[in-house]
C-alpha cells in the first residue's frame, strides 16, 4: 500500500517536473525574444545618437556596442544551441538581460525609469516564485549600482543639479549643455538621484514586483494542480479500461456454452456508448434441455450503470440456475435488487427460458423492449408481449409469465433501446419501424450478416449525431431437435 | 448538455411541476434538486406537455418521484403526456405506477 502511494507520488512529481521543464523552455524562448528586441532597440538608439537625432550629454553605450551585443547575443546563441533545455540557461539569459538593461539605465538615466521592471516581468513566466524573488532582489541591487554610477557617467538629469545662488548659465540650446562648463557638487547630485529618482523608481517598481511574484506563485500552484488532475485522469482512464475488460469478460462464451447444443445458433453485438455500459445480455444452459436468455438495460450510463449491471446479471444468473420458473426468477431478482438502497436505478429485463426439444419459450418482460420474431416463411414482427414494471424499481411488483413457440428455423431478436432510440442530428429516432425495415431487407441472411446490416443501417441513420446509449443485440435462431 | 427545464410550485403537500425538453442522464440532476427542495411533498403532478423525450436516466428520476410519493401514500399524476412518452411509459410498466390524465 505504502509502495503504491510512493509510486503515485513519484509519478505526480515526474509529471510536474515535465510540465515545469516544458514551461521553462518556452520561457527561455520568450526571454530570448525579449533580448533580441533589446539588441534591435540598442542598435536604433546608437544609430539615433550617431546621426545626431538623439544627443545625450554622455552616451557610453555607443563606445562598447560590440560588448553589449555579445552579452545579449551570447546567451541567445546558447539557448538556441541547447534548445532551452539546460537548467542554468534561465539564470544566464535573465542575468545578462539585467546587465544590459542596467547599462541602458546607466546611460539613459531618467529617460527610461521602468527598465528595472522588464526582467521581473519576464521572470514571472517561469512560474517559480523563488526565481522571481531572486530576480527582484538582483535587479534592485544592479540597478542601484547603475543608477548611482549613471549620475555622473550617463545622461545628466538637470533637475537634480544643485547650483549656488547667483550662478549664471550660458544657455545655447538644451539646458544640459550649459552645465558642461559649470562646477557642481556631484556628491549632492548622487544624493538627489537616490532620493528623487531611484526611490520613486522603486515605489513604481514595488507593485509590479509584487504582481509578478503573485503571477509566478499562482502559476506554480496551477501547474501543480493541473499535474495532479492529469494524474487522476490517467488513473481513471486505466481503471475504466480495466472495468471495460472485466465487463467484456462476462460476455457469454458462445463456443463453450453451446458445445454439443445443435438446436440453436446465437450471435450478438454490443457497442457501448462509453468505456463501460449498463446493457448486458446473457445466455446459459440451465439443464440439458433448457437454455436461458437475458437481455437487459440498466438506467443511466457509465460506471454506476456498469456496476449495477454486474450485480443484476449475477443475481438473475444465479436464480435461474437454482431451478426457479421465469416468473419466480424475476420476482426474486426484483426483490433483491430493490434492497440495494438505490433510489433511482433500475434495469429493464427480458428473461426467457427456451425448451430446446419443443421450441417453447417461457418468458417474462420487465419493462424491456419487445422482442422481434420471425417464423419460417414469415416476416419479422414485433412480439406484442405483456410488459411488467422494470426490475429493481418497487419490491412489491409481480410479473406475468407468457409462452411463445418457435418453429424450427425461427429467429428471435432481443435488443436494447439503444437500437430503436438511435437518433439522427435532428432528433428523429430509428424506432421499431426502422429496425423491422432493416431486418426485413435481409430476412434470409445469416445472423452475423443480419446484425451487421442492422448496425450499418443504424450508423447511416445517425449520421453525425453522437451515440448516447449503449447498443446491444442478441440474435437466436432455433433449429429444432435434429 | 441537452435542454431540459423544470418549473415547480408547492402547496398543500403537492408539488406541481412542469417538465420541458429532453430529460437525459446529463440533466437529470435538476429533478433530484427539486425533490430535495421539497422533502415534505406527498403528491406530485407533472405537466409533460412539452416533454419531448425521456431517457432511461429520466425514468430513474421518475422512479424516485414515485418512491417519494409511495412512502407517504401519495400519488403521482402525469398530465398532457405526448404519444412518444406514453409509449415509453407503457413499455416500461410506468403507466401502472402513475396516474395519466
Instruction: Write down the pLDDT at residue A1.
Output: 47
Comparing CA positions, the residue from A211, A217, A226 lying closest to residue A126 is A217
Contact yes or no for A301 and B64 at CB 8 A: no
pLDDT tens string for chain A (482 positions)? Answer: 445 555 555 555 777 888 888 899 999 999 999 888 888 887 887 788 788 887 665 556 566 677 777 788 889 999 999 998 899 999 999 999 998 888 888 888 887 888 899 999 999 999 999 999 999 999 999 999 999 998 888 888 888 888 888 888 888 887 878 887 788 888 999 999 999 999 999 999 999 999 999 999 999 999 888 888 888 888 888 888 888 888 888 888 777 777 778 889 999 998 888 777 788 899 999 998 999 999 999 988 788 888 899 999 999 999 999 989 999 999 999 999 998 777 789 999 999 999 999 999 999 999 999 999 999 888 999 999 888 999 999 999 999 999 999 999 999 999 999 999 899 999 889 999 999 999 988 777 889 999 999 999 999 999 999 888 889 999 999 998 76
| Number of neighbouring beta carbons within 10 Å of residue A462 | 17
Q: Note whether B38 and B69 are within 8 A (CB).
A: no
* Helix residue spans in A344-425 (DSSP H): 417-420
Contacts of A370 (CB under 8 A, 6+ apart): A382, A383, A384, A385, A387, A432, B91
Nearest residue to A308 via CA among A263, A344, A272, A345 = A345
Instruction: Locate A332 and state its grid cell.
Output: 426474486
Residue indicated by cell numbers 432481443 = A414
Q: Pairing between strand A410-415 and A372-374?
A: antiparallel
d(CA A47, CA A415): 82
Q: Chain A residues with CB-CB distance to B under 8 A? A: 278, 297-302, 343-346, 348, 366-370, 387-390, 393-394, 397, 417, 421, 427, 468-469
SS (H, E, C) A99-145: HHHHHHHHHHHHHCCCCCHHHHHHHHHHCCHHHHHHHHHHHHHHHHH
Q: Which candidate from A301, A369, A387 shows the least CB-CB separation from B25?
A: A301
> CA B19 to CA B6: how far, in whole Å?
5
Burial of B79 (0-12, 13-18, 19+ CB in 10 A): middle
Lowest mean pLDDT among A222-236, A358-372, B62-76, B81-95: A222-236
CB atoms within 10 A of CB A81: 10
3-class DSSP state for residue A68?
helix
Contact B94 A389 (CB under 8 A): yes
pLDDT value for A60: 60
Q: Which residues of B touch A366 (CB under 8 A)?
A: 93
Q: Does B87 touch chain A (CB under 8 A)?
A: no
Contact flag A387-B66 (C-beta cutoff 8 Å): no
Taking the CB of residue A474, how many other CB atoms lie within 10 A of it?
26
* CB contact at 8 A, A313 and A282: yes
Angle at B91 between CA A359 and CA A431, to 5 degrees: 90
Q: For residue A283, which of A476, A478, A449 has the smallest C-alpha distance?
A: A476
ipTM: 0.89
Amino acid at each position: 500500500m505504502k509502495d503504491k502511494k510512493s509510486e503515485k507520488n513519484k509519478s505526480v512529481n515526474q509529471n510536474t517536473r515535465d510540465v515545469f521543464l516544458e514551461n521553462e523552455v518556452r520561457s527561455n524562448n520568450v526571454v530570448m525574444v525579449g533580448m533580441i528586441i533589446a539588441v534591435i532597440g540598442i542598435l536604433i538608439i546608437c544609430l539615433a545618437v550617431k546621426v545626431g537625432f538623439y544627443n545625450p550629454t554622455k552616451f557610453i553605450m555607443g563606445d562598447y556596442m560590440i560588448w553589449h551585443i555579445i552579452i545579449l547575443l551570447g546567451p541567445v546563441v546558447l539557448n538556441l544551441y541547447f534548445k532551452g533545455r539546460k537548467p542554468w540557461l534561465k539564470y544566464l539569459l535573465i542575468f545578462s538581460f539585467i546587465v544590459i538593461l542596467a547599462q541602458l539605465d546607466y546611460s539613459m538615466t531618467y529617460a527610461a525609469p521602468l527598465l528595472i521592471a522588464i526582467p521581473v516581468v519576464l521572470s514571472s513566466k517561469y512560474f517559480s516564485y523563488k526565481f522571481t524573488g531572486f530576480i527582484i532582489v538582483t535587479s534592485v541591487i544592479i540597478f542601484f549600482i547603475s543608477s548611482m554610477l549613471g549620475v555622473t557617467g550617463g545622461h545628466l538629469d538637470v533637475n537634480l543639479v544643485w547650483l549656488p545662488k547667483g550662478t549664471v548659465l550660458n544657455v545655447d540650446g538644451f539646458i544640459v549643455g550649459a552645465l558642461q562648463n559649470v562646477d557642481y557638487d556631484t556628491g549632492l547630485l548622487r544624493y538627489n538621484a537616490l532620493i528623487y529618482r531611484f526611490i520613486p523608481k522603486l515605489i513604481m517598481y514595488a507593485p509590479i514586483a509584487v504582481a509578478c511574484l503573485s503571477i509566478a506563485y499562482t502559476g506554480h500552484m496551477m501547474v501543480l494542480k493541473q499535474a495532479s488532475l492529469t494524474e487522476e485522469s490517467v488513473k481513471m482512464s486505466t481503471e475504466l479500461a480495466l472495468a471495460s475488460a472485466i465487463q467484456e469478460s462476462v460476455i457469454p462464451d458462445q463456443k463453450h456454452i453451446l458445445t454439443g447444443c445443435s438446436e440453436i445458433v446465437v450471435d450478438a453485438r454490443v457497442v457501448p456508448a462509453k468505456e463501460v455500459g449498463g446493457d448486458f445480455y446473457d445466455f446459459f444452459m440451465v439443464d440439458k434441455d433448457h437454455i436461458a436468455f437475458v437481455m437487459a438495460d440498466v438506467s443511466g450510463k457509465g460506471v454506476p450503470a456498469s456496476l449495477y449491471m454486474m450485480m443484476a446479471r449475477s443475481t438473475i444468473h444465479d436464480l435461474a440456475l437454482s431451478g426457479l420458473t421465469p416468473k419466480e426468477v424475476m420476482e426474486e431478482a426484483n426483490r433483491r435488487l430493490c434492497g440495494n438502497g438505490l433510489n433511482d436505478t433500475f434495469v429493464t429485463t427480458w428473461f426467457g427460458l427456451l425448451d430446446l426439444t419443443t421450441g417453447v419459450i417461457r418468458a417474462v418482460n420487465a419493462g424491456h423492449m419487445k422482442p422481434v420474431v420471425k417464423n419460417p416463411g414469415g416476416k419479422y414482427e414485433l412480439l406484442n408481449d405483456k410488459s411488467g414494471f422494470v426490475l429493481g424499481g418497487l419490491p412489491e411488483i409481480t410479473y406475468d409469465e407468457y409462452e411463445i413457440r418457435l418453429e424450427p428455423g425461427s429467429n428471435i431478436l432481443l435488443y436494447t433501446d439503444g437500437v430503436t432510440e438511435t437518433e439522427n442530428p435532428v432528433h428523429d429516432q430509428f424506432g421499431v419501424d426502422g429496425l423491422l425495415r432493416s431486418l426485413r431487407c435481409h430476412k434470409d441472411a445469416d445472423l452475423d450478416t443480419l446484425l451487421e446490416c442492422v448496425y450499418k443501417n443504424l450508423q447511416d441513420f445517425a449520421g453525425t449525431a453522437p451515440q448516447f446509449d449503449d447498443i446491444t443485440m442478441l440474435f437466436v435462431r432455433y433449429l429444432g431437435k435434429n | 448538455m441537452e435542454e431540459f427545464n423544470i418549473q415547480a410550485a408547492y402547496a398543500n403537500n403537492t408539488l406541481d411541476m412542469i417538465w420541458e425538453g429532453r430529460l437525459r442522464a446529463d440533466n437529470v440532476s435538476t429533478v433530484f434538486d427539486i425533490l430535495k427542495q421539497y422533502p415534505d411533498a406527498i403528491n406530485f403532478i407533472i405537466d409533460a406537455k412539452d416533454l419531448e423525450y425521456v431517457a432511461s436516466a429520466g425514468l430513474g428520476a421518475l422512479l424516485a418521484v414515485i418512491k417519494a410519493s409511495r412512502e407517504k401514500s401519495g400519488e403521482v399524476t402525469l398530465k398532457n403526456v405526448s404519444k412518444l412518452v406514453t409509449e415509453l411509459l407503457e413499455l416500461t410498466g410506468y403507466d401502472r405506477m402513475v396516474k395519466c390524465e
